[in-house]
A and B are shown apart, each in its own frame.
Chain A
Amino acid sequence: MTLLYTEVEEELRASVRDLLADRCAPDAVLKRAESAAPYDLELWKTLAHQIGVAGLLVPEEYGGAGATAREAAVVLEELGRAVAPVPFLTSAVLATKALLVAGEEDLLQELAAGDVTAALVVPLAASPYRPLPETVAVGADGTLSGEVRAVAGAEIADVLLVPVGSALYRVAAEHARVEVVPSLDLTRPIATVGFDGAPGKVIGHFERERVLSFGAGLLASEQLGVGQWCLDTTLAYIKERHQFARPVGSFQAIKHRMADLWLDVVRARAAARNAADLLAAGSEDAGLAAAVAASWCSEVALHVAEEGVQLHGGIGMTWEHPVHLYLKRAKASEIALGTPGAHREAVAALADLPGPV
């Protein structure tokens, strides 16, 4: 195991970063977020076809890259750094992991090819450690009815994967009602997904904790990317911005805050790498590593984003400056796949630190 990046991982990072620099600059992301089509599906196709990110976690025998959580984590760092509006986390990580765990093969092949996109129909706020709200039921005729709120990536999915109890159903998107709601996170909006007697097919077991903990452990890498962008951008700004005839970054009150933020991000990188590495290895410690990374990186990304807004002063409060996109992503991600507190409760169980009797 290593907490460093391998050469292959660095190459993957470079190709994703180059593409995003070209196609996903902050002003373009902002413009798109204001439009009726917040997701950039052209960019997603390029990422899927040229770099092969859609099938990263899919084994080679199903047409995927046969890579691991380590490589997916590197992609997520870069996507977080650009708050890129693409369904990598929702389709290529969460839905793909659910299919891998369920033992499905056909859909995996289609996802790997990048032509089909899927979404796991659970609230983005679902915790790995608590039963999902049972809001979808299977009728006597085998069709699905009910509603799931706050689902990410559903409006652009071709296939919906719907957990009902311990079973995972496959529903074609055209049989569902997907209503995007105004969302806190402009670059990963949420939708209400409704079913009214929708035909569905059981494709295997849904293992909630395994799938969502995997997702949370990898989301930590996206959060690392968000935090790193906020740190870098704020640092550049306070070196340029002058008040009282000095760069504001020369004031000790600012420097000390930046030093603390840097140290938080350094530790976030170690935590996120550790989680990715142990998830990749299928280690028995992977759950603990994911909980540690999820709780730490969530809070760090949010803290750096909040400090970023503050240290930008007035410009940080404007719609024009992109830092708000990162603040919104960081705040929404804090809730996604288990809050920091939920992950610390899991640490209590996994590290033998029981609560009061």
Chain B
Amino acid sequence: MTGDDVASLAREFLASHDPGDRQAFLRARFDAGLAWVHFPEGLGGLGAPRELQQVVERELAGTPQLDTGVQGIGLGMAAPTILAFGTEEQKKRFLRPLWTGEEIWCQLFSEPGAGSDLATLATRAVRDGDEWVVDGQKVWTSGAHHARWAILVARTDVDVPKHRGLTYFVCDMHAPGVEVRPLRQITGEAEFNEVFLTGVRLGDDLRLGEVGDGWRVAQMTLMNERVAIGGAPVRRGGGMVGLVTETWRSRPELRTHDLHQRLLRLWVESEVTRLAGQRLREQLSAGQPGPEGSGMKLSFASLNQALSGLDVELRGEEGLEYDDWSFRRSDSVDFFGRGAGYRYLRAKGNSIEGGTSEILRNIVAERVLGLPSEPRVDKDVPWKDLPR
């Protein structure tokens, strides 16, 4: 299938469907194989190369679009995992409403006792005939309050080492025993939730992959999460450093020599980091994927923290204020609309979410630099015998 074939399919589709009815239009687009062209026919795709998707997007620009924010977990993590490990029935059941946004997905992975060491998670799923009974607590779940379904990793065998006793499920977020509570952050608002699972009964037809194979299935999900962290192009002096320099230029009375020296250092670091990102994108498009990607998130986290901290300090009296402590839900990170205090506090999460900076340094050291891992004390020990 060529780009021209895909373009003419998209044009034919557009000629015969009314974009005015959003939901009907998106359903029909899925059925026409124009949702994600690299998916198989019958599942929203055409079995075409992934890069032809942009042809479809071009042809269908201006028609109803997906909400990539609230649908992000579904599209980016659940869908590729269901496609790779789901049964035919599961793919048929879940992918269409996932794509159209009629059903929102969330991710039940992290737990209070399992952050960096995800494989040590303790949420139990115990078999009961054709069902599984799930008990445990999950945390840092964005969108749980919107979600119809969740991707869930739970422990089904406590007698084997931690990586081997896990099983992957689709969790029905409307099932009895699922309780979602907003998790208030240091910024005052709640971007995330805690999810309590108490005697939640899931049919065995909601299991994704084999019993005990959950870690391998979860790797597929996490691999797709890492792909998403790359960083978009920024112009010179833009992004977080731009917010600080705007204040710096417009408020000369705030300037001191000490702040000036620190600002210049951070400006230079922002610029070299921006250039490294640009170089990385060049390498990727030239087909030479470099290891540089692993480091970009480390740099952005520390720069965001240092710059937002400097911003608050620079503002003096105004830095003592805070724009809004109210406890409300929020679906996104708003670095540009909110105050300097919010940015300072929210940036603290940048070195924790999506892999802590410490874990990322291990990844760079082991996978890029080829250094040996620390001796593992938990590798061959049954999960139930691990100190917790």
Contact = CB atoms under 8 A, between A and B. Distances in A.
A355 B263 CA distance: 10
A4 B265 CA distance: 25
A4 B374 CA distance: 35
B124 to A, nearest CB: 31
B276 A353 contact: no
A353 B371 contact: no
Contacts of A4: 279, 282-283, 286, 288
Given A347-B267, A347-B268, A267 B365 contact: no
Shortest 10 CB-CB contacts between residues of A and residues of B: A255-B365, A270-B275, A259-B364, A259-B361, A250-B372, A3-B279, A270-B276, A267-B272, A356-B255, A344-B264
B298 A357 contact: no
B295 interface: yes
Interface of A: 2-4, 235, 238-239, 246-247, 249-252, 254-256, 258-260, 262-263, 266-271, 273-274, 292, 295-296, 341, 344-345, 347-348, 351-357
Nearest to B257: A356
Given A239-B371, A266-B295, 16 more contacts: A3-B275, A235-B369, A235-B370, A249-B372, A250-B371, A252-B374, A254-B371, A255-B361, A256-B365, A259-B295, A259-B365, A270-B275, A270-B278, A273-B279, A344-B265, A347-B264
B361 A256 contact: yes
B235 interface: no
Contact of A269 (B245, B257, B263, B279): B279
Contacts of A251: 374
Contacts of B268: 292, 295-296, 344, 347
Contacts of A260: 361
B87 interface: no
Interface string B352-388: 0000001011101110111111110000000000000
Contacts of B237: 351
Interface of A, helix, strand, loop or mixed by DSSP: helix
Contact of A3 (B257, B273, B278): B278
Contact of B292 (A254, A266, A357): A266
B62 interface: no
Nearest to A251: B374
B326 interface: no
A260 B360 CA distance: 10
A263 B295 contact: yes
| Of listed B264, B267, B282, B375, residue having the most chain A CB within 10 A | B264
Nearest to A261: B369
B48 to A, nearest CB: 30
B260 interface: yes
Contacts of A270: 272, 275-276, 278-279
B226 to A, nearest CB: 16
Contacts of A266: 276, 292, 295
A228 to B, nearest CB: 13
| Of listed B360, B369, B373, residue having the most chain A CB within 10 A | B369
